[in-house]
Structure 1
């Protein structure tokens, strides 16, 4: 998991996004193969219902329900974690702002005030970039984890049908 101390960079987020796109592309191709095979089974069943692959037809809905239920539970868990993380980020920003306000209130002259404001703004931009990268990683890791049960189901179907 990526922390909010600057260890996540935009480069890390881009690498994770590319990995996610690659896995999604592979999943889409495999799912297309499974759908094509099942359509062929459906046509064959229309012409000869007695010899249809009833086991495969009975398997379709339950396996999808299981895969998508698992994915939904993972997303629920991950979104809860993301919500806690966002709340922590927001409360940290409130504390930082209060601290900066106190520091600025103690400035003796306009030059010191301008310097304190500038330091606060630079530190804020640094925290913003770090937080954005870490939140991007949270979202990409959640997507990857949620897609795993779906990927497993499609892989099992591909192995069995294609």
Structure 2
């Protein structure tokens, strides 16, 4: 979770930098379109579409895996209840439920990291490129 938090902070920091650098480019293009940085302006929409499409794909895959795990757990619970209540069966069900819950948290963090990854790559690459162009 610490890595996810660090990545989110890097995205926020880099995004603020990129917006701060691109804002004046957009304003300059509105005033003097013939001298605008068309290469940089042309990157803005396609890179966002690509990053968010990759993020959406990661989210859909993560949700699908979570649904599969939930269905498997629900099936196991129904089978355990159908077998009849026993102390051993109850303890096994508690153990399985605890394991399922821990796996669910890990899966959620992993999915969040996978969703954030293409956005992180795009915005930090932009920030690096814009910082190098400023030098």
Bin of the TM-score, shorter chain as denominator length? 0.7 to 0.9
Q: TM-score, normalization: structure 2?
A: 0.86
In structure 2, stretches of 5+ residues that fail to align are: none
- Map 1:51-70 onto structure 2 (within 5 A): 51-70=35-54
In structure 1, stretches of 5+ residues that fail to align are: 1-16, 105-115
Q: TM-score, normalization: structure 1?
A: 0.73
Q: Distance in 2 between matches of 1:85 and 1:71?
A: 21
Question: Counterpart of 1:112?
Answer: none
Question: Counterpart of 1:84?
Answer: 68
Question: Counterpart of 2:82?
Answer: 98
Q: Distance in 2 between matches of 1:155 and 1:22?
A: 13
Q: Distance in 2 between matches of 1:96 and 1:49?
A: 69
Q: Distance in 2 between matches of 1:84 and 1:47?
A: 54
Contact 2:10–2:124 under 8 Å retained in 1: no
Task: Calculate the aligned-residue CA RMSD, in Å.
Answer: 1.7
Question: Counterpart of 1:34?
Answer: 18
Question: Counterpart of 1:153?
Answer: 122
**Which structure has the greater CA radius of gyration?**
1
